[in-house]
Amino acid sequence: MTNLLKQAEERLEKMQAEINPRWYPRYHLAARAGWMNDPNGLVWFDGWYHAFYQHHPYSTKWGPMHWGHARSQDLVHWEHLPVALAPEGPEDKEGCFSGSAVVDGDTLALIYTGHKFHGPADTDDNLYQVQCLATSRDGIHFERQGMVIDTPPGLHHFRDPKVWREGNAWYMVVGARVDNTGQVRLYRSSDLRDWHDEGILAEAEPGMGYMWECPDFFTLHGKRVLMFSPQGMAAEGYEKRNLFQSGYLLGEWQPGEAFVHNGQFIEMDSGHDFYAPQSFLSPDGRRIVMGWLAMWESPMPEQQDGWAGMLSLPRELSLDDNNRLLMKPAAEVTALRGSYFPVPAHCLTNQRLLVTADADAVELCLEWDRIASPAEQFGIVMGNGLRIYVDNQSQRLVLERSGPDCALTGTRSIALAEGDSLSLRIFIDRSSVEVFVNDGEACLSSRIYPQPGQRDIMLFANSGTAALKEAGYWSLDR
């Protein structure tokens, strides 16, 4: 272990002992202490799922990026491992930025962005981002191989490589910025070390962002999906309300050909907090994705408790008959379930009904009968900080959080599709909520920070009647 990695471990050990656990997740993956953002290097290797992540082990704020590391055999019970990468070389002296991981024979390879300045760090003119390689035989200790792709001439923002194998070649997509236009660039290699520039895979049309971060390119049911996180898109009505978004373009591509897509960028998650998703394949061939459950320039009250940031639940991707991306909890999430508590089917009229008291780790399943629910609003409420409800006047499903003490008050919502029923799977952890709608048709994820005594969950119906077909919840634990 290098000196910088040893220092990071020593600092984490000290900080971990001082964490206030009131909002620290019970079953989501978070750093032991310090700062966490983008998931990196999600991969199955040698009998384990590995999750790396952007990490600053010295404080609860963003700083010189390291790669934190955890592993799991079931995607929900995670074991923390030593910090994998620290910014200790000339190619990454200001940070080991985001990237990916692939299995090359008996070797686990990390491909990441080295972040550095040639001169003062107060201007992008001195910024250079290059792509680097590190390898491991045991999946824990990594040997740095140095830079494999230099910054292209005229570029400064050039980051977040995602690598995959197709046929006899490795391919890499990298996010880039040219003036105020986002791009995804494509590269090809036979050995992960020597890379050939294949040109621009996709480029932002007007209004689609000045920088495309964290690109991911994969095949799903015969279609090609370009998933990325654009910066600089303007809000439009109910859509794109967050500072930055995460979404996808759907199209066709074959090696050596152009990526032909429909030009329709679709957000993947409609909540307050979901960014930089990365996908990987499970051993049985499912496409799984995890994202950062936070948002840039949004208050993070947990920073006062010694930690910041967490990852979403693992989510399985599929396409429906209309080629719309569906995202539902991976099957492994059911391993978290403890006791089940049914809530007898109810018809509520201008009332509230207690479901469970003092909940900090639950999965709630509700199926509403929309035909028999003419109430103006109906849904669930948790204390005074969270409401998830149908607004029948606007025909939208609304997630409303209220945390005036930490400046986190606001709503996100989706249009309700036609149908007689509305099915919701709602995962509540100590400081997060993830809502999955109609078996993956939509998702809303947000951070919440309940105060003491504000975790009781109740059903409600306002200004009319609402009917449930089924209702119940599981207690969850890691």
Q: Where are the beta strands (DSSP E) in 158-314?
A: 158-166, 169-178, 181-189, 195-203, 211-220, 223-231, 247-252, 260-261, 266-267, 275-281, 287-292, 307-308
Query: Annotated active-site positions, please?
Result: 38
Q: With 80 as the cut, is the pLDDT of residue 1 above it?
A: no
What is this structure's pTM?
A: 0.97
Average of per-residue pLDDT across 260-271: 96
Q: What is the pLDDT of residues 90-146, one digit of tens each?
A: 999 999 999 999 999 999 999 999 999 999 999 999 999 999 999 999 999 999 999
- In this prediction, what percent of the chain has a pLDDT beyond 90? 97
Sign of torsion, CA 308 8 67 330?
A: negative
CA distance 453 to 448: 14
CB 150, CB 130: distance < 8 Å: yes
Q: What is the pLDDT of residues 297-318, one digit of tens each?
A: 999 999 999 999 999 999 999 9
Longest Cα–Cα distance of the chain, Å, equals 67
Which band of pLDDT confidence, cut at 50, 70 and 90, is reported for residue 406? confident
DSSP 63: -
- pLDDT at position 8: 97
Average of per-residue pLDDT across 432-439: 98
Which band of pLDDT confidence, cut at 50, 70 and 90, is reported for residue 81? very high
Average of per-residue pLDDT across 243-255: 97
Q: Which contiguous run of DSSP H or E holds residue 127?
A: strand 127-136
Average of per-residue pLDDT across 265-282: 98
- pLDDT at position 344: 85
Matching residue, tokens 């990468």: 85
Which band of pLDDT confidence, cut at 50, 70 and 90, is reported for residue 175? very high
Average pLDDT over the chain reads 97
Which band of pLDDT confidence, cut at 50, 70 and 90, is reported for residue 455? very high
CB 389, CB 475: distance < 8 Å: no
Which band of pLDDT confidence, cut at 50, 70 and 90, is reported for residue 346? confident
